[in-house]
Amino acid sequence: MEAEPAPLPKAVVLISGNGSNLQAIIDASSSGELPLDICAVISNVPDVKGLERAADAEIKTHVIEHKKYPQRELFDVQLIRQINEYQPDIVILAGFMRILSKDFVNQYLGKLVNIHPSLLPLYPGLNTHKRALENQDAEHGVTVHYVVPELDAGPNIIQAKVDVSATETQESLAKKVQEQEHIIY
């Protein structure tokens, strides 16, 4: 008698936009390359392409608009309620453009991962490509890391590097980095 295969880890993915990283995760999950059951995709912005990508893959979608909540903590309470309906093993931030409260992060500590477009600890926060170019860095990249209450300060899981040419622009560098994002995330 054959043993039942172990259930796949359950994931909820949080997005705010186009969902190109979400699509890479969906594709890797569908092919079996990434053993993951994506239970739901939640966006804080309505009518974004990422929700369409999830729906096309027959993944449940939800919208919780942060603008409808006067305080960050109230938004986070609603987000936690929605996520917890799925009892995920992992919560993936894939272009989720909200800084989460300390209480939210602590709720999922050790299960919350993010992708950041720099080689952390370099350039936490925004405008990473601009800062790398201003500093004339020879290389730049992307980091997948665990989320902790301090912004972009959690332990790194994996990084991918790209070379920065002398003629690089923010747009060309962003494109190079995004290509690596889709490989490692």
pLDDT band at 1 (very low <50, low <70, confident <90, very high): low
Stretch (H or E) spanning 115 = strand 112-116
Fold of 7-108: Rossmann fold (3.40.50)
What local confidence, expressed as pLDDT, does residue 122 receive?
97
CB 12 within 8 A of CB 81: no
CATH 3.40.50.170 in the chain, residue ranges: 7-108
Stretch (H or E) spanning 24 = helix 20-31
Tokens of 123: 């350039």
Per-residue model confidence as pLDDT tens digits over 7-48: 999 999 999 999 999 999 999 999 999 999 999 999 999 999
Q: Which residues are catalytic?
A: 116
Stretch (H or E) spanning 12 = strand 10-15
Q: Answer whether 0.85 is exceeded by the pTM.
A: yes
What local confidence, expressed as pLDDT, does residue 21 receive?
94
What local confidence, expressed as pLDDT, does residue 4 receive?
78
pLDDT band at 5 (very low <50, low <70, confident <90, very high): confident
Per-residue model confidence as pLDDT tens digits over 51-109: 999 999 999 999 999 999 999 999 999 999 999 999 999 999 999 999 899 999 999 99
CA atoms of 124 and 111, how far apart (whole Å): 20
